[in-house]
Amino acid sequence: MFRPVSERSIPVPEETLASRVRRALQRVRVPGPTPLAGAALLCLLIGLLFLALQVRAIFSAQLQQEYVGLVLEAVERADAARAAALSLQNTSDDDVQHRAAYREARIELATRLAALHALVSSSPMSTPALPSAVLSPAAALGDASAALDSAYAWWRTERDRTSADVRDRILSVSHTLIALSAIVFGVLITALGMYAKRNRQLLGISNEFEQASLHDPMTGLPNRRKLFAALEDAANAIATGTRGSARIAVLYIDLDGFKRVNDTHGHRIGDEFLIAVSRRFRQTVRGGDLVARIGGDEFALLVRQFSTDGELAAIAQRIIACVAETDAQMGLSIVRASIGIASFPDRVSDYWRLVAAADDTMYTVKRNGKNGYAFASAPVAE
Lowest mean pLDDT among 18-32, 42-56, 216-230: 18-32
C-alpha dist (Å) from residue 110 to 104, 116, 117, 154: 10, 10, 10, 20
What CA–CA distance (Å, rounded) separates 327 from 256?
Answer: 11
Neighbours of 177 (CB within 10 A): 12
pLDDT at position 139 is: 81
C-alpha of 379 from chain center: 57
pLDDT at position 11 is: 42
Residue 13 and residue 218 in contact, taking contact as beta carbons nearer than 8 Å: yes
For the cut 60, the answer to whether the pLDDT of residue 65 exceeds it is: yes
Map residue 301 onto helix, strand or coil.
strand
What CA–CA distance (Å, rounded) separates 72 from 84?
Answer: 18
Cβ neighbours of residue 165 under 8 Å, at least 6 residues apart? 57, 61
156 vs 382: which has the higher pLDDT: 156
Lowest mean pLDDT among 83-97, 126-140, 317-331: 83-97
AA letter at 324:
A
Average pLDDT, the chain: 83
Q: Assign domain 224-375 to its CATH architecture.
A: 2-Layer Sandwich (3.30)
Residue 364 and residue 376 in contact, taking contact as beta carbons nearer than 8 Å: no
C-alpha dist (Å) from residue 102 to 81, 87, 134, 379: 11, 8, 16, 138
In this structure, the chain runs to a length of: 382
pTM of the model: 0.54
pLDDT at position 4 is: 46
For the cut 70, the answer to whether the pLDDT of residue 18 exceeds it is: no
For the cut 70, the answer to whether the pLDDT of residue 98 exceeds it is: yes
**Pick from 362, 365, 361, 366: nearest CA to 376:** 361
C-alpha dist (Å) from residue 92 to 82, 102, 104, 109: 19, 11, 16, 20
For the cut 70, the answer to whether the pLDDT of residue 322 exceeds it is: yes
Phi and psi at residue 255, in whole multiples of 5°? Answer: -85, 110
Buried/exposed 238-252: b ≥16 CB within 10 Å, e otherwise: beeeebeeebbbbbb
* Cis bond upstream, residue 345 (ω within 30): yes
Phi and psi at residue 225, in whole multiples of 5°? Answer: -60, -45
Residue 251 and residue 301 in contact, taking contact as beta carbons nearer than 8 Å: yes
311 vs 132: which has the higher pLDDT: 311
For the cut 70, the answer to whether the pLDDT of residue 262 exceeds it is: yes
